[in-house]
Every structure is written in C-alpha cells, then in structure tokens.
Structure 1
Amino acid sequence: MLTILDRYILKRYLVTFLGMLLLFIPIGIMANLAEKVGKIIDNEAPLGEVIVFYGNFTLVIGNLLLPIFLFLSIIFFTSKLASNTEIVAILSSGVSYWRFLRPYFIGATMVAILIFLMGMFIVPHASIGYNEFEYKYFKRGRKVQETSNIFNQLNDTDYIYVSRFEPSRKVGYNFTFEHFDSIKQLDYKISASNIRWVEKDSLYRMTNYVKRKLRDGVEIMETKRRLDTLFSFKIEDLTPVSYVAETKNLFELNSFIEDQKSKGASNINTYVLVKYKRWALPITAFILTIIAVAVSSVKRRGGMGLNLAFGIGVAFIYIFFDKVFGTLAEQSGFSPILAVTIPNVIFGVFAVYMLMKAKR
C-alpha cells in the first residue's frame, strides 16, 4: 500500500517525466521539420502525410529516448528535493535510504511497462509509416541499401543466390536458382547475369538466362537473352530492407528471425539486435533511475545545474556505447546479445557504485 511519502515522490516523478516529454518532443519535431522542410516542399509531400509522419516520428523517436527523458526528469525533481532539504528531513525522520528509493522503483516499473508495450506492439506499427515516408520523400533517389553474397534457402528443395542486391532498384546480380529432388540430387539450375522485379507486370525479368538440367546423365541446356517468368519467392527474400525488423511486433519479429535463420540470411545480426534492444530498454529505465537518484539526492554546491550537466554527460556516454556496440554487431559479426548487454552491465555496475556512495 502506498504511503503519503510514496504518493508524494511518485507524483513528482510522473509529473516531471510527463513535463519533460511535453517539453522536448515538440522541440524534436520542430528541429526535424526545420531540417527537412526543404525536401518536403521540393518533393511536394501532402500535408496529411506530413502530419501522420510526425505523429509516427513522435512514437518512434520518443520511445527510444524515454529512458533518457526519465533520467533527466529524475535528476531535475530530486535535485529540487535535495536543495529544499526535503531528503534530509525524510531520512532524519527514520526512513531508511532503501525505503526512500521505493517510489522511484515503482515509477521506474510503470515507465518500463510503458516502454515494453510501446516497443513491442505500438512503435513497430508506427515505424512502417515513418520509414516509408523517410524513403519516399527524404531519401528519394538515394541508394538505400546494397548487400552482397546473399544465400537463402527457400524450402527443403529450393535455394537462391545473388552476388549483389539493390533493394531500391529491386535488382539482383549473378542470380542462381537451384532445385533439388526428393533424394537431394540437383534437378535443375537456373542462372542469369541479373534478375529484376517488374512491379507493374508482377513478374521477374532475367537477363542472359541459362537453365541446365540433367536427364539420364545428359545435360540439357536452355538459354535466352531475356526471360520474363514467375517464381514462388518474393523479391524481399533476396534480402529485406534494413528497417524491416523495426516494423514487426514481438511475435512477428520472433517468427521473422527464425525464418531468416533458416534461409541463411547474411544480415541476421541486424534483426536480432533490434529484438534484444527492445528487451533491454525497460532494464535501462531501472539502471538510469538508480544513477539519477544517486547523483541528485545529495545536496551539492553546484546545485541542480551541476547535476543536470552530469546527467547529460552520462546520457551521451550511454548513447555512444550503445551506438558503438550496435555497429559492431551489425557490421563485424559481434554477438548482438553482448552488444546490448555490455553497455547495461557497465552502467549497472556504475549505478550500484553511485548508489552505495550516495547512501554513505
């Protein structure tokens, strides 16, 4: 049951957190709009789509920064409590430091649940519109992604390979399709210098098409300069666009990752990293809460300004670690779970150290 102390701190906790969101999110929208307004006008983006985009922008960016906003809001209102000598009065009344922390952990739990629900179910849907608008109006004409040496197993009998794939043009180079029979012997093999998805006709167009098959020990070869045909796979099976994992909810993402693993996708770490980051964000909320309370619950000569400066510095260092290890996981084969765990372990140890120091 919540006491008067719990309700008092929890109210300040949540009101300050909400105020931080209402303050910084509009600033983020205006900063992004100021940067992108030229492209919006040049590409004649409809007003309705722009409004929907910034609604999605609020959810996507806001969810990523929720732990940081939480961190700064705790430093802000706890510093005020310390400067008004309220914390000294609370502890002098016989309340232990661990008891004093209880409403902070209750608040962190509420925010962590919000982050979990948003990250797993709400933000993925918003990411679809957000990324589609980005690539339609802000990255038009830009090579969105190019991946090489892609090998996918479509099912038990069919395999595809391309040496290079450009999702923006939907073109794969040095394409190979291999079909095996029930006893795992090669039945036929199709190759082409490139394969392109022709959207208006809903078919594939291959250049320098060659089909080889073995019949009674004799190789039969069929060649064509150009061939339009159908395949059972989708062009996205060659390699999904980089943001595809961000658009899937918890259950869809798990299924998608298993599917990509079975196909031998070359960029599987990118998708696994997205999954682990979603699970790590709620934990981050608790770690940053502990650091924020430990830093700001002690009355300092520099006051709130010094605490906020320290908090902003810690936030930037955390983002730096997160980006560095995330890039390692995506580009160098570094374990995604380690890339997510290491920053949290480092800051978790730092949080415990700061908490014990503040308690003393």
Structure 2
Amino acid sequence: MLSILDKYILKRYLGTFLLLLLLFIPIGITVNLAEKIDKILENEVPFIEVAKYYLDFTIYFANLLFPLFLFLSVIWFTSKLANNTEVIAFLSSGVSYYRFLRPYMIGATIVCVGALILGMYLAPMASKGFNEFKYKYLKKGKQDRAQSNMYRQINDNDYIYVSYFNVKEKTGNNFTLEHFEGNEMKYKLSASRIRYNEKDSSYTLYNYKKRIVGENDDRLLKETKLDTVFPFEMEDLTPVEYIAETLNFTELNDFIQREKAKGSSYINRYEVVRYKRWSLPVSAYILTVIAVAVSSVKRRGGMGVNLAIGIAIGMVFIFFDKIFGTMAEQSTFSPFIATWFPNIVFGILAIYLLKNAKR
C-alpha cells in the first residue's frame, strides 16, 4: 500500500513530468513550424496532413528527449521540496533516504514502462509518418542522400542498385540486379524504373533488359514492361536509417536477422536503433536517482543552482548517447557497448551521488 508520502511525491513526480512535456511540446512545434512554414505553403500541404505530421513530430521527439524532460522535472519539484524544507521534515520523521526514494522509483517504473511501449511500437509508427511527410513535402523535388544510390548485396550471389527510391510511392529509378557465380557475372537485369506491388509482393519493371553472359557471346532480352518477383524485400531498396526507425520491436528483430543472413554492412546501424529502445527507458531510473541526489539538498543559490547542475548533467548524457551511437554506426565499435555506455557511466555517478546525499 502507498503511504501519504508515496502518493504525494508520486503525484508531483508524474505531474511535473507531464507538465514539462506539455510546456515544451508547443515550443518545439512552433520552432519547427516557423522553419518549415514556407515549404508547407509553397507545396500547398492540406491542413489534415500538417496536423498528422505534428502529431507524429510530437511522439517522435517526446520519445527522443524524454530522459532530459524527466531529469529536469525531477530536479524542479525536488528542489522545491528542499527549499520548503519538506525533505528535511520527511527525513527527520525517521524516514530513511532509501525509503524517501521509493515513490521516485515507482514513478520511474511507470515512466520506463510507458517509454518501452512508446519506443517499441508508437514511436516507429510516428517515425514513418514523420519521415514520409518530410520526403513528400519538405524535400519535394530533391533527392535525399539517404534515398540515393542504394547499392546492396541481398545474398551470396546477387547485388542490386537503384539510383533513387521513393518510399511513399514505392518506386525507384535506374534499377539493376547483377547475378554472380563465384567471380563470374552470369547475367545482369536493368530497368529505367521499378515499382513494388504491395498486393502480391511482386515488382513491375519498365524498359526491362536482361543480358545473359555467354562464353562466346551474350544474349540480350528486352521488354517494355515486365511483372516479376525477386528474392528481396522492398526494405532492401529503402534508406538505411529510415527503415530501421519505422519498424516495431518484432519487425526490427526479424529485419536484423534477414540482414545478417545477407551479410549486410549496415548491421551496426540497425543494432544501435534496437538497443536504444531498451537503454533509453532504463535511463529513467538512473537519471531519477541522480536528480534526487543533486536536488534534495537545500543550497544557498536555491533552485537555480540545482537546475544549472541538472541541465549540465543532462547535456552531457545526451552528448554521450549521440557520440557513442554515431561511433557504433560508422565503425566496428560494439553497438551494445555504445548504447549502454552512458547508462553505465551515469549509473556509477548515481551510486556516488546517492551515497553522498545519504550522509
């Protein structure tokens, strides 16, 4: 059963966190809208599409930045408790520091479970809508680097290339497939345009050519239009970073297994996305302990000093998360270590600060 103390702190914990989210979300939307409004008006984007985009934008960035919001909210209301000498009153009544932490840990558990659901299922759907809107309207007429010049090995013998792939329309330009046996090319398919047919998982090729390599001469087959199937999924033609973000937990695990079987060189990028969906929710516990340890002491400078310390620690945490994630994506550095390293470092810091705060 929760005591009056537990209910009081838990209410403040969750209430301040939600309030901070509600305060920052409109600011984020306003800043983003001010930056994108010219292209939205230029492309005459329907209002309903803009509304859906900013709903996806809200979910996408709430999932990305929730550790910082949580950290600041805990520092904010715990500093107010300390300044009002409520923390001293709690501890003077015989409540141990660890008992004082219990409602914070209950709150962190609620936030962690919510963040897991958000990161595993809701954020991928929001990411898909967010990116599709961006590619359709905000980058209209441009070839985004992530969608251009996609060259992939899909199995031991086949390689595919597409100069540009439109995710929304499921079409690509300048498609080729090269089939090798050993070091020798046996045939090469090419088409000026390829379209994925979602209904039956087939592909339509336009201006199709197939060159069969012979010992003495080659054979060339041509078709204006050809419907066929290939031993690869549409995901093999989509942008590397884009596809990982849009898959839910089960889909991402299956996708990574298929990519490993194909010997993909982008496994680290996918692994970083997968491990972050676990590491970020767990950070709720670590950041909560640090925030309480930092802000439960009444300081001469008051709440401002605690907030300054909190913002500095939060920025360092985000910096570590970004820098090690990028390192793993672009090198052979372990994605598991890269994504969990900030939690390990700040976990050690949390233990140290907790021991000092308890004294």
CA shift in 2, pair 1:134/1:327, >3 Å: same
* Contact 1:204/1:229 (8 A) holds in 2: yes
Q: Counterpart of 1:176?
A: 178
1:28 aligns with 2:28: yes
Q: Counterpart of 1:321?
A: 320
Q: Helix, strand or coil for the counterpart of 1:337?
A: helix
* Contact 2:154/2:160 (8 A) holds in 1: no
CA shift in 2, pair 1:238/1:66, >3 Å: closer
Structure 1 distance, partners of 2:42, 2:312, is 38
Q: Counterpart of 2:204?
A: 203
Q: Helix, strand or coil for the counterpart of 1:197?
A: strand
CA shift in 2, pair 1:333/1:205, >3 Å: farther
* Contact 1:193/1:209 (8 A) holds in 2: yes
Which 10-residue stretch deviates more, 134-143 or 29-38?
134-143
Q: Helix, strand or coil for the counterpart of 1:272?
A: helix
* Contact 1:207/1:227 (8 A) holds in 2: yes
Instruction: For residue 97 of structure 1, report the CA deviation from its aligned partner.
Output: 0.5
* Contact 2:79/2:303 (8 A) holds in 1: yes
Q: Over aligned residues, Cα RMSD in angstroms? A: 2.7
CA shift in 2, pair 1:126/1:61, >3 Å: same
Q: Helix, strand or coil for the counterpart of 2:218?
A: strand
Q: Counterpart of 1:87?
A: 87
Structure 1 distance, partners of 2:327, 2:234, is 25
Structure 1 distance, partners of 2:313, 2:207, is 53
Q: Counterpart of 1:266?
A: 265
Q: Counterpart of 1:18?
A: 18
- The TM-score normalised by the length of structure 1 is 0.88
* Contact 2:150/2:237 (8 A) holds in 1: no
Report the residue type matching 1:338 in the other structure: I
Q: Counterpart of 1:330?
A: 329
Q: Counterpart of 1:150?
A: 152
CA shift in 2, pair 1:172/1:358, >3 Å: farther
* Contact 1:192/1:206 (8 A) holds in 2: no
* Contact 2:208/2:226 (8 A) holds in 1: no
Q: Counterpart of 1:300?
A: 299
Report the residue type matching 2:338 in the other structure: A
Q: Counterpart of 2:243?
A: 244
Report the residue type matching 1:344 in the other structure: N
Structure 1 distance, partners of 2:37, 2:329, is 31
CA shift in 2, pair 1:312/1:142, >3 Å: farther
Which 10-residue stretch deviates more, 101-110 or 338-347?
338-347
- The TM-score normalised by the length of structure 2 is 0.88
* Contact 2:165/2:173 (8 A) holds in 1: yes
- 1:141-191, Cα deviation, whole Å (9 max, x unpaired): 3332146652111xxxx732146754358346764124x7xxxx9998222
Q: Counterpart of 1:278?
A: 277
Instruction: For residue 109 of structure 1, report the CA deviation from its aligned partner.
Output: 0.2
Q: Flag structure 1 segments of 5+ consecutive residues without an equivalent.
A: none
CA shift in 2, pair 1:135/1:148, >3 Å: closer
Q: Helix, strand or coil for the counterpart of 1:141?
A: coil
Q: Flag structure 2 segments of 5+ consecutive residues without an equivalent.
A: none
Q: Helix, strand or coil for the counterpart of 1:170?
A: strand
Instruction: For residue 192 of structure 1, report the CA deviation from its aligned partner.
Output: 5.3
Structure 2 distance, partners of 1:92, 1:101, is 15
Report the residue type matching 2:153 in the other structure: F
Instruction: For residue 193 of structure 1, report the CA deviation from its aligned partner.
Output: 7.1
Q: Helix, strand or coil for the counterpart of 1:161?
A: strand
Instruction: For residue 220 of structure 1, report the CA deviation from its aligned partner.
Output: 6.4
Q: Helix, strand or coil for the counterpart of 1:176?
A: strand
* Contact 1:239/1:265 (8 A) holds in 2: no
Structure 1 distance, partners of 2:137, 2:337, is 35
1:98 aligns with 2:95: no
* Contact 2:194/2:204 (8 A) holds in 1: yes
Percentage of matched positions with identical amino acids: 49
Which 10-residue stretch deviates more, 263-272 or 248-257?
263-272
Instruction: For residue 272 of structure 1, report the CA deviation from its aligned partner.
Output: 1.4
How does 1:127-138 map onto structure 2 within 5 Å?
A: 127-138=127-138
Instruction: For residue 228 of structure 1, report the CA deviation from its aligned partner.
Output: 4.9
Report the residue type matching 1:223 in the other structure: L
* Contact 2:43/2:137 (8 A) holds in 1: yes
